[in-house]
A = this chain, B = another copy of it.
Amino acid sequence: MHTLRQPDDRHAYTLSAAHPPIAAVPCGESIGVETVDAFGGALRSEADLFSERCPGPPRSNPLTGPIYVEGAEPGDTLLVTIERIEPRGDQAVTALIPEFGALTGSAQTATLDEPLPERTRVLPIEGGDLVWRDRLRLPLAPFLGTIGTAPDLEAISSLTCGYWGGNLDCAETGPGATVWLPVKNEGALFFCGDAHALQGDGELTGVAAEMAARVVLRFGLLKAAPIAAPRITTDTHLMALGCARPLEDAARMAARELVRWLADEADLDPLDAYELVGLVGELRVGALVNPNYSVAAKIARRWVDQLSPRAG
Contact = CB atoms under 8 A, between A and B. Distances in A.
A116 interface: yes
A203 B278 contact: yes
A119 B259 CA distance: 18
B154 A200 contact: no
Nearest to A203: B278
A152 interface: yes
A109 interface: yes
Interface in A256-312: 256-257, 259, 270-272, 274-285, 288, 293, 303, 306-307
A61 B218 CA distance: 38
Copies held by the complex: 4
A2 interface: no
Contacts of A116: 112-113, 271
A307 B280 CA distance: 35
A143 B274 CA distance: 21
A4 interface: no
A111 interface: yes
Given A103-B256, A274-B103, A245 B242 contact: no
A61 to B, nearest CB: 12
Contacts of A280: 138, 198, 200
Interface residues of A, number: 84
Nearest to A15: B154
B248 A288 contact: yes
Interface string A92-133: 001010000111110111111111110101000000001011
Contacts of A136: 276, 303, 306-307
A18 interface: yes
A103 B111 CA distance: 4
B138 A199 contact: no
Given A111-B105, A112-B270, A281 B245 contact: no
A8 interface: no
B283 A252 contact: no
Given A103-B111, A112-B104, A201-B283, A154 B157 contact: yes
B278 A135 contact: no
Given A94-B278, A103-B256, A133-B272, 16 more contacts: A103-B110, A104-B111, A104-B112, A104-B113, A108-B244, A109-B249, A110-B253, A111-B256, A136-B307, A138-B280, A200-B281, A201-B281, A202-B255, A203-B278, A209-B279, A251-B285
5 contacts: A58-B154, A101-B278, A133-B272, A200-B282, A248-B288
